[in-house]
């Protein structure tokens, strides 16, 4: 099985971190290829950035479909353009946020998300609502971090995120913690040890779910929400899009 993981920003470090954690949890017969978008910002922490990265992300989605992959993962905890990507893909496309939230729902009555800067809260609230999991989410805990702060793992990152998670467990009713940025690779287990509750890395969750879907031989439904758009001309865009 061959999985394509797309980091939709342009950071080499983050891509490499995502690649490590994916390989750590993938089964040995699963081949992981991790790439980032060819253009765009080094991190995604606003709705504007989330929106503008669509085109280079879709290029990667189309390449994934043309190159013998079994499934694709979009590795950014906003699940940017996930439903759109499914429209132009015949193989499963998974988001790291949706995968971690659904798995969290199997491990506890309520989960909390520990994430980056406060201004991303509305984006996460919308995402939880879109997935229909409002009643399972205890809280969103924001911190002062930017995604690029996770490129080099520091003790400070672990300390601050663990404190935020502890607050969620003690005061908001959280029983499981979802790490709310694809760049937080590698802190799931140390944090879980400190907290005594499961801590989920979105990339790890998505890799396992991709293996599940491929093993089971299912892909997303193509009859309504994810049905393929009619062919049309995309004036001024990469020629690729004219032939989907």
Q: What is the DSSP string of 135-203?
A: GGEEEEE--S--GGGGSS--HHHHHHHHHHHHHIIIII--SEEEE--TT-TT-HHHHHHHHTS-EEEHH
Q: How many CB atoms sit inside 10 A of residue 146's CB?
A: 15
Number of residues that bind its own copies (CB under 8 A): 93
Tell me how far, at minimum, the Cβ of 138 lies from its own copies, in Å: 10
Binding of residue 190 to its own copies (CB under 8 A): no
Binding of residue 65 to its own copies (CB under 8 A): no
Cα 157 to Cα 216: distance, rounded to the nearest angstrom: 37
Tell me how far, at minimum, the Cβ of 70 lies from its own copies, in Å: 15
Binder among 10, 16, 20, 153 for its own copies (CB under 8 A): 10
Cα 244 to Cα 19: distance, rounded to the nearest angstrom: 28
Residue whose CB is less far from its own copies, 158 or 213:
213
Binding of residue 16 to its own copies (CB under 8 A): no
Tell me how long the chain is: 244
Tell me how far, at minimum, the Cβ of 127 lies from its own copies, in Å: 11
Binding of residue 243 to its own copies (CB under 8 A): no
Site for its own copies in 75-134 (CB under 8 A): 81, 83-85, 87-88, 92, 94, 98-99, 102-103, 105-110, 118-119, 121-122, 126, 129-134
> Residue 188 burial (CB < 10 Å; 0-12/13-18/19+)?
buried
By CB under 8 A, which span of 46-54, 150-158, 160-168, 178-186 interacts with its own copies? 46-54
Each residue 203-242 as x (binds its own copies by CB under 8 A) or -, in order, gives -xx--xx-xxx-xxxxxxxxxxxxx-xx-xxxxxx---x-
By CB under 8 A, which span of 12-20, 36-44, 149-157, 160-168 interacts with its own copies? 36-44
Cβ(244)–Cβ(62) below 8 Å: yes
Binding of residue 13 to its own copies (CB under 8 A): no
Q: What are phi and psi of 212, to 5 degrees?
A: -60, -50
Tell me the three state secondary structure of residue 220: coil
Residue whose CB is less far from its own copies, 23 or 208:
208
Tell me how far, at minimum, the Cβ of 235 lies from its own copies, in Å: 5
Tell me how far, at minimum, the Cβ of 140 lies from its own copies, in Å: 10
The residues, any chain, with a CB within 8 Å of residue 62's CB and separated by 6 or more, are: 88, 240, 241, 244
Binder among 63, 160, 175, 194 for its own copies (CB under 8 A): 175
Cβ(6)–Cβ(32) below 8 Å: no
Tell me the three state secondary structure of residue 204: helix
Binding of residue 141 to its own copies (CB under 8 A): no
Cβ(184)–Cβ(154) below 8 Å: no
């Amino acid at each position: 099985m061959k999985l394509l993981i797309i980091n939709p920003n342009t950071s080499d470090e983050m891509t490499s971190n995502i690649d490590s954690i994916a390989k750590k949890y993938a089964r040995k017969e699963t081949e992981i290829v991790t790439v980032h978008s060819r253009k765009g910002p080094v991190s995604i922490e606003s709705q504007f950035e989330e929106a503008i990265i669509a085109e280079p992300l879709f290029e990667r989605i189309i390449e994934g479909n043309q190159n013998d992959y079994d499934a694709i993962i979009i590795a950014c905890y906003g699940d940017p353009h996930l439903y759109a990507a499914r429209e132009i893909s015949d193989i499963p496309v998974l988001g790291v946020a949706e995968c971690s939230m659904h798995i969290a729902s199997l491990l506890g009555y309520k989960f909390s998300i520990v994430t980056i800067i406060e201004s991303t809260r509305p984006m996460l609230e919308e995402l939880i609502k879109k997935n229909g999991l409002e009643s399972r989410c205890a809280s969103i805990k924001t911190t002062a971090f930017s995604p690029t702060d996770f490129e080099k793992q520091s003790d400070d990152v672990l300390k601050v995120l663990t404190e935020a998670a502890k607050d969620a467990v003690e005061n908001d009713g959280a029983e499981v913690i979802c790490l709310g940025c694809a760049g937080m690779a590698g802190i799931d287990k140390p944090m879980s040890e400190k907290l005594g509750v499961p801590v989920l890395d979105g990339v790890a969750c998505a890799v396992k779910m991709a293996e599940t879907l491929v093993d089971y031989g299912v892909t997303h439904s193509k009859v309504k929400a994810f049905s393929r758009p009619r062919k049309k001309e995309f004036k001024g865009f990469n020629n690729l899009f004219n032939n989907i």
